[in-house]
Chain A
């Protein structure tokens, strides 16, 4: 390998917040085996954080990683991965977001930042190319993310600075705290905002004036043109998730998953065209031809004056479905989204624990004495808004809900445990009774639920030609109700997602969304031309498998997860869909077991325990990981057989 590392800034920035020491190391130390972004982040996490370290210990790491293709014209290569030990699960904590932060960090000269230790007072990191300073943040501690953004830009006298910061939720160690960039882009799930808060780190501000160079410029631009054209022809920019389609598939977590289908009349009030009245402009981030985001302005009613970026499919699930809202005032959804951004709350996790409290109230487990006098009645968005505030500041009932529904239910008891819908301890936001490949991807996800690991969203697409299915996935894509071939799809998407997150490319431009979008071969062409390291699609997917196995091993070593943790929430197996076209549908345990068997087999893991085998790890050049697992006897019987 040549000395020069193309398509990278070249350095990993190390910051010890306890001593105030700052230093760098070359990124190339890690790239050959772990690509970049999420891959390198999770290797550093695995390598440096010991199993006895708890998420809020100074010894935990908070790692920000940009993708290999970020900063170039590769389509949608604008993402950063933030990783650390998760306060939600005790295993891998991994969050991902787009924004202008990642390219700015690379232009400043850094591919990753690794924070360790804990500052004695609140601080923020200021990176101005090669000038890196740890500055006092006592005046911005306690501020919302929007106030923080304003104050840092004002203080440093530069409107173009890119900032990643936490709000009150992160400072107060709320387990559903996230990290916000560009006031609205949220690195969510896993509570990494609270890890940042535990380190007394309020923000990272960066300004970069450097450049990114690719290995073969002409070849790279040819692939850029091909991939941009592919996205244009696919119509990716205009694909909108129709609320009615999701409803007909019973993918609505209505009233804390008691129902999966809601009245179509309620959805009619929230169709995308309703929000055109509020839309100021369409928004995209660095080199993104999809521009899926929108900026909204509210001119009338309770929230008049609100101006905010936001709204995506999650808002439909998290507010409208979860709380069964019948919105005659559509701006309420914009407000709930904006509140989460201001407080630095991950709306997926936060809405889940609040919905759990609503159901506790419905069933009499909570009375107004437990809820600070609030009536938690389904459909009341103002109560939801008030509870978001209470969670962010850990006030009253919010202090309990800040723990997430699993922990909260263990404190409350009285049968409320059954109402806590979580996977591996993290609140699960996805309805999944009717979509088996989507459900499997959530169930086995290394970060504890969530559909952005291996969930096979592709199963919702009808009529993909069989020759295309065979070429891309090696199997036919059966409909969402079928359990057939879903394990294979999930393994495919786990690998692809690890690759995307390591290259910094958005999931939405990949074949997660449709067969005509970018797949491993397209990404490999971009990667090879950018880095000068020749790699085909299979080679990239093997890297994805390695990255996925690192996270799996971290979970086994740190959280003790095994097969029993790879199941969906019990309610989704016990209680069928109660109404709508999918009435009667649920997840079946015996069929789930069959999918799991097939899934473990495809990874080369042990079916009985769900643990990895020495063979699979050594095939991935992870002997050190195999040795670590052997020491704590977290190997399968298959391993013991192979050495006896």
Chain B
């Protein structure tokens, strides 16, 4: 299984990774079910990318756990991250 590496400091906050992830799981665009979350603090200009490899009971109600995009040629979050904030390790 591929490994993902996250560089939050490079993130532009575009959330394409969230949209792409939800597409992988359900062929829909729905950031709130994605296996990752970009927390964007507009006030401070900071980003934090959180990958959900495992989910808590509460998180299971909404999100899919990350399966490293099984079945895809490459993880979609990394594919649509044009600045290298999420890369295949």
A97 to chain B, nearest CB (A): 14
Q: List chain A residues, Cβ under 8 A from B42.
A: 149, 182-184, 309
Let me know if B44 and A72 touch, CB within 8 A: no
Closest to A150 in B: B43
Measured CA separation A107–B33 after assembly (Å): 12
B28 adjacent to A286 (CB under 8 Å): no
**Bound Cα distance from A160 to B32, whole angstroms:** 11
Q: How far is the CA of A495 from the CA of B9 in the complex (A)?
A: 39
Cβ contacts under 8 Å, B11 to chain A: 281
In the complex the two chains form, what is the Cα distance from A190 to B29 in whole Å? 33
Q: Is residue A159 within 8 Å, beta carbon to beta carbon, of the partner chain?
A: yes
The answer on a CB contact under 8 Å between A307 and B28 is no
In the assembled complex, which residues on chain A have CB atoms less than 8 Å from the CB atom of B29?
A: 71-73, 211-214
Given A280-B45, A285-B13, A309-B42, A211 and B82 touching (CB < 8 A)? Answer: no
Is B55 on the interface with A (CB-CB < 8 A)? Answer: no
Quick check: A73 and B31 within 8 Å, CB to CB?
no
A271: CB under 8 A from chain B?
no
A50 vs B13: C-alpha distance when bound (angstroms):
42
When the two chains form their complex, are residues B15 and A281 in contact, meaning their CB atoms are under 8 A apart?
no
A183, A212, A287: the one within 8 Å of B43 (CB): A183
Residues B62 and A282 in contact, CB atoms below 8 Å apart: no
Residue pair B82, A73 in contact (C-beta under 8 Å)? no
Assess the A307–B15 pair: CB atoms within 8 A.
no
Residues of B within 8 A of A72 (CB): 19, 29
Q: Would A286 and B22 count as touching, CB distance under 8 A?
A: no
Given contacts A184-B42, A217-B23, A307-B44, contact A289 B13 (CB under 8 A): no
Q: Mark B38-80, 1 if CB is under 8 A from A, else 0.
A: 0111111111000000000000001000000000000000001
Min distance, Cβ A34 to any Cβ of chain B, angstroms: 23
Return the contact of A211 from the options B9, B33, B41 (Cβ within 8 A): B33
Known: A73-B23, A281-B9, A291-B83. Is A212-B28 also a contact (CB below 8 A)? yes
Tell which of B12, B46, B47 has the most Cβ of chain A within 10 Å.
B12
Q: Judge whether B43 and A211 touch: CB under 8 Å.
A: no
Residue A232, interface by CB 8 Å:
yes
B27/A217 in contact, CB under 8 A: yes
Contact residue among B16, B20, B45 (Cβ-Cβ distance under 8 Å from A295): B45
Chain B contacts of A286 at CB under 8 A? 14-16, 19
Chain A, 212-242, CB within 8 A of any chain B CB? 212-214, 217, 221, 228, 232, 237
Bound together, the chains give a CA A309 to CA B42 distance in angstroms of 8
A479 lies within 8 A of chain B by Cβ: no
Is the CB–CB distance between A232 and B82 below 8 Å? yes
CA distance A307 to B31 in the complex (A): 28
Residues of chain A within 8 A of B44, CB atoms compared: 307
Residues in A neighbouring B13, C-beta threshold 8 A: 283-285
A146 to B15, CA, bound (A): 22
Query: Given known contacts A280-B45, A281-B45, is B12 in contact with A107 (CB within 8 Å)?
Result: no
Q: Which of A159, A184, A228, A285 contacts B41 (CB 8 A)?
A: A159
Q: How far is the CA of A212 from the CA of B33 in the complex (A)?
A: 12
CA distance A208 to B30 in the complex (A): 9
Give the complex CA separation of A72 and B30 in angstroms: 9
- The residue among B28, B44, B46 with the most chain A CB atoms within 10 A of its own CB is B28
In the complex, residue of chain A having the shortest beta-carbon distance to the beta carbon of B45: A295
CB of A88 within 8 Å of the partner chain = no
A291 touches B14 (CB 8 A): yes
Minimum CB–CB distance from A504 to chain B (whole Å) comes to 13
Q: State the CA gap A307–B44 with chains docked (Å).
A: 7
Given A72-B29, A107-B30, A210-B30, A287 contacting B16 (CB threshold 8 A): yes
Provide the bound-state CA to CA distance between A159 and B42, in Å: 10
Q: Report the minimal beta-carbon distance from B57 to chain A, rounded to whole angstroms.
A: 18
A100 to B39, CA, bound (A): 12
A288 within 8 A of B: yes
Q: Does B23 contact A287, Cβ atoms closer than 8 Å?
A: no
**Which residue, B42, B45, B47, has most C-beta atoms of chain A within 10 A?**
B42
| Interfacial residues of chain A within 67-126, with CB under 8 A of chain B in the complex | 71-73, 100, 103, 107
Q: Which residues of B contact A208 (CB under 8 A)?
A: 32
Q: In whole angstroms, what is the CA distance A280 to B10 when docked?
A: 10
In the assembled complex, the CB of B59 is this many whole angstroms from the nearest CB of chain A, namely 13
A307 adjacent to B14 (CB under 8 Å)? no
Contacts of A184 in B (CB 8 A): 42
Instruction: Tell me the bound Cα distance from A291 to B80 in angstroms.
Output: 13
Tell me, in angstroms, the Cα distance from A182 to B42 when the chains sit together: 6
Q: Which of B26, B29, B44 has the most C-beta atoms of chain A within 10 angstroms of its own C-beta?
A: B29
Report Cα–Cα, A212/B23, bound state, in Å. Answer: 10
**Chain A residues near B22 (CB-CB < 8 A):** 211
Check A297–B45 contact: CB distance below 8 A.
Answer: yes
Q: Give bound CA distance, A602 to B33, whole Å.
A: 49
Question: Does any Cβ of B come within 8 Å of A209's Cβ?
Answer: yes
B16 to A289, Cβ gap below 8 A? yes
Chain A residue contacts of B83, Cβ below 8 A: 282, 291
In the complex, how many angstroms separate the beta carbon of B45 from the nearest chain A beta carbon? 3
Q: Closest A residue to B29 by CB, please name it.
A: A212
Neighbour of A209 across the interface among B32, B39, B47, CB < 8 A: B32
Give A217's nearest chain B residue, CB to CB. Answer: B27
Structural contact, B14 and A107, CB atoms closer than 8 A: no
Q: Are A282 and B12 in touch, CB under 8 angstroms?
A: yes
Chain A residues near B47 (CB, 8 Å)?
Answer: 281
Distance from A277 Cβ to chain B, minimum over Cβ atoms (Å):
15
Tell me whether A309 and B45 are in contact (CB under 8 A): yes
**A-chain residues with CB within 8 Å of residue B28 when the two chains form the complex:** 211-213
Min CB–CB distance B72 → chain A (angstroms): 11
Least CB distance, A344 to chain B, in whole angstroms? 16
CA distance in complex: A73, B31 (Å):
11
Q: What are 19 A-B pairs at a CB distance below 8 A?
A: A71-B19, A71-B29, A100-B15, A100-B40, A160-B39, A183-B42, A209-B32, A212-B28, A212-B29, A212-B30, A217-B27, A228-B82, A281-B47, A282-B12, A283-B12, A285-B14, A287-B14, A287-B16, A287-B19
Question: Which 7 residue pairs are nearest across A and B when measured between Cβ atoms?
Answer: A295-B45, A211-B30, A284-B12, A284-B14, A291-B12, A211-B28, A217-B27
Binding site for A on B (CB under 8 A): 9-16, 19-20, 22-23, 26-33, 39-47, 62, 80, 82-83
Sample of 11 further A-B pairs with CB below 8 A, known A281-B9, A309-B42 = A72-B19, A72-B29, A73-B19, A103-B31, A211-B22, A211-B26, A214-B29, A221-B23, A284-B13, A285-B14, A289-B82
